[in-house]
Amino acid sequence: MPYYPDLEFCIKLGNVIGYHPFKGFTKMQVLRYAISWLLLPFPPFLTIMKLCTESEITVPRFIGVSLNITVYFHGLFRNSVLFFARRQMKSLIETTKHFWALEDYDIVVRRTRRGRILHTFFMCSFIMSGSVKRHLNPQATGLYFPQWAPKHLLMLVQDIATQWEILGFISSDILFRTLIIQLTLQLKMISQRLLKLYSDEHDEKMIQNKLRECIEHYVVLIRYAEDINKLYSKIFVVSFSCLTFSCTVSLYMIMRNHDPKIIVEGMLHIILSLYMISFCYCVPAQAMTNEIANVSTSAYFSNWQNYSKNTKDIILVILAAQTRFEISAGGIVPVNVETLLSACQSMISYCMFLRTVDSED
């Protein structure tokens, strides 16, 4: 039986980059991972070389090229975490085969496929537009160009590094989103079964069996959520930091320039970054957290008080499901809609701080 289509998509992309969860540390996978270490440090290295050759480095100048450093190291860190965590990825993907069958499977597949295609299209379109811009205006890249090396050849290497990096972003983001959506749907099915448990069944033995089945599946899902959190916790720390920083830089450049091209580019970067945080991280994680809370509510409103023999078990379900669980970045910052709004607020605050530093200089 094949895996969920979006999971198959992530597995294929992971194979290209070098962290196929089912192939282990084969020579080809290690070679493809090594390519990340050859390509992704290349733009930051040339950027640092460029800064070192300048007689004076101003705050606006450093901020303007800082994304060449943070973005690529972000991609390298993400690829490294997933390369060494392929066993955890394999376990998470294989566990989905033991989930309850979805009643509206085809509808869910179509909906998530549309989201995956749109996400891939937006990410690739933005990267391609950046590549075109670099070749039209090489000096705006902030890279160091040795006299003996053709500029467009070096920019071509940067284009390849960017495409390599974006494949890792798309693969890991869609993987997280898909796993969380699958988990949320399973939790929703538990809530529905608990809510109808005492209405559809009157045989207490049958009720006991179905209640036990729901409890066992709920325990599996909570452990599954914890495993997802362990896999992505470190990635989220770096991702939220880098995306917030990149949005801050873009907002700073918008406020500092009157060039329509820079303003439009900065706005697109901010919109894409916030879309990435919300679509792939915060909104799915918030939906999962809400669905966990709904399990307790559904159990409470299931008319359990009319069946005295099952009172103890259903009360335990109600109490256990009231325990709040959230996906978090580094075990500190919860990944939810509130965090998304906090990131927007932080972006504005940091930007105003940079403006203050710039004005003092």
Which whole-number Å values give the CA distances from 176 to 61, 204, 272, 348, in the listed order? 36, 39, 18, 28
Q: Which residue has the higher pLDDT, 93 or 47?
A: 93
**Under a CB-based contact definition with an 8 Å cutoff, are residues 358 and 256 in contact?**
yes
Considering only 81-85, 181-185, 206-210, which range has the smallest mean pLDDT? 206-210
Q: Report the pLDDT averaged over residues 204-221.
A: 85
Q: Report the pLDDT averaged over residues 102-111.
A: 91
Q: What is the pLDDT of residue 309?
A: 62
Q: Report the pLDDT averaged over residues 83-106.
A: 92
pLDDT band at 155 (very low <50, low <70, confident <90, very high): confident
**Coil/strand/helix, residue 334:** strand
Examine the pLDDT at 306 and tell me if it is beyond 90. Answer: no
Q: What is the pLDDT of residue 359?
A: 64
Distance CA 63, CA 225 (A): 38
Q: What is the pLDDT of residue 132?
A: 82
The residue ranges of DSSP E strands in the chain, in sequence order, are 328-329, 333-334
Examine the pLDDT at 316 and tell me if it is beyond 80. Answer: no
Q: What is the pLDDT of residue 361?
A: 55
pLDDT band at 138 (very low <50, low <70, confident <90, very high): confident
**Under a CB-based contact definition with an 8 Å cutoff, are residues 204 and 307 in contact?**
yes
Tokens 């207490």 correspond to what residue? 204
Global model pTM greater than 0.75: yes
Examine the pLDDT at 224 and tell me if it is beyond 70. Answer: yes
pLDDT in tens, 63-75: 767 878 888 899 9
Q: What is the pLDDT of residue 235?
A: 93
Q: Which residue has the higher pLDDT, 307 or 71?
A: 71
Length of the chain: 361
Q: What is the pLDDT of residue 59?
A: 65
Q: Report the pLDDT averaged over residues 46-66.
A: 78
Q: What is the pLDDT of residue 170?
A: 93
**Under a CB-based contact definition with an 8 Å cutoff, are residues 285 and 180 in contact?**
yes
